[in-house]
Amino acid sequence: MTEILLKTLPFFALIGLGWGAAAIRFFPAEGAVWLTRFVFYFALSAMLFRFAAGLDMAALFDLRFVLAYLLGSGAVWAIGITVARARGLGIAEAAMEAQCCMIGNTGFLGVPMLVVLLGPAAIGPVLMVLTIDMLVFSTLITLIIHAARQGGLRPAAVVPVLRGVASNPMILAMVAGLAWGGLALPLPEPVDEFLTILGAAATPGALFAIGASLAGRRLARLAPSAWLSGAKLVLHPAAVGLAAWGFGVDPVAAGVMVVAAGLPVAGNVYILAQHFGVAQQRVSTAILISTAASILTIPALILLIGA
């Protein structure tokens, strides 16, 4: 456990560095916004393109893996929304809490960290988790909130949502990379070097940006936020692990899926909560608690899967 903890510690130290720089206002809040934009549109996209270009579709898409992740995550989503509704929350708030229970920080934390910790075999499974989260569950929550506010789902609300998903730079980078690899096109050496240098900025940039974005958050609504954090860090990996076992997913891919499911609540859940004005404080606190707790839970999961 200590050895694994020491391996993960540098990643969380970068998050802590970002938090500290923002907490003492050496790194301003608007700086975190622009750093996040750089990582999202440039550095992480370069990393994802390069990863995807080295894969074939069979390595990325495994039906048993997809079904297991959908079933396990869907079950946690259903538990989250059921618990929220039992507490008397409206459908929009309940759906946002359900989203907290199973959307992890795969893009900014999972891709950079798990590929380093678990090796190249983690690339395909991590990208698959990221794709399912963005295409299925992020679309689902947006459509549910639109339907809850408008008394039903109208075609006019669907088109902008689908357009937003299709224009997501991470999706575009992965699709472009898979297409490049599928055509067996070589990457010219200067292009490969450019992508390598730019992609290398994704890990420190993303982790520093996560920490800086946490500095402005305050602990509030602790009871529901603690439940959401526990569901994300414990219930979600347990559910997808059970589903992966049931579907007979390859043990290596299943292990990566479990660790990816154990990542803390994603920052983009807060972006959605803020955009719609739904459960912002609960989501913000859940991100803070789950990120801090994941310093211990992620090494425990890696130890559990025997990586």
| pLDDT tens, position by position, 31-78 | 888 998 999 899 999 999 999 888 877 667 789 999 999 999 999 999
pLDDT value at position 278?
84
Q: Which residues contact 266 (CB under 8 A, 6 or more apart)?
A: 103, 104, 105, 106, 107, 108, 133, 287
Tokens representing residue 61 in the block: 């898409």
- For the chain, residues with pLDDT lower than 70 are 1, 58-59, 149-157, 161, 307
Residue type, 173: A
Q: How far apart are CA 5 and CA 298, in angstroms?
A: 9
Domain ranges of the chain: 2-305
80 Cβ neighbours under 8 A, 6+ residues apart: 94, 97, 98, 99, 100, 101, 102, 228, 231
Mean pLDDT of the chain: 88
Backbone phi and psi for residue 27, each to the nearest 5 degrees, phi listed first = -115, 110
- The rounded distance, in Å, linking the Cα atoms of 263 and 101 is 11
* Residue 100 to residue 279: CA distance in whole angstroms: 10
Structure confidence at residue 2 (pLDDT): 76
| pLDDT attached to residue 3 | 80
Nearest alpha-carbon partner for 242 in 167, 107, 49, 234: 234
pLDDT at 144: 84
pLDDT score for 196: 94
The reported pLDDT for the residue numbered 22 is 92
Which two three-digit tokens encode residue 69? 């992740």
Nearest one of 272, 291, 289 to 96, comparing CA atoms: 272
Q: Residue 237: its pLDDT value, please?
A: 97
Topology, domain 2-305: Na+/H+ antiporter like fold (1.20.1530)
Residue environment code for 93-115, b if the CB has 16+ CB neighbours within 10 A, otherwise e: bbbbbbbbbbbbbbbbbbbbbbb
Predicted pLDDT of residue 156: 63
Q: With contact defined as beta carbons under 8 Å apart, do 109 and 264 qualify?
A: yes
Radius of gyration of the chain (CA): 19
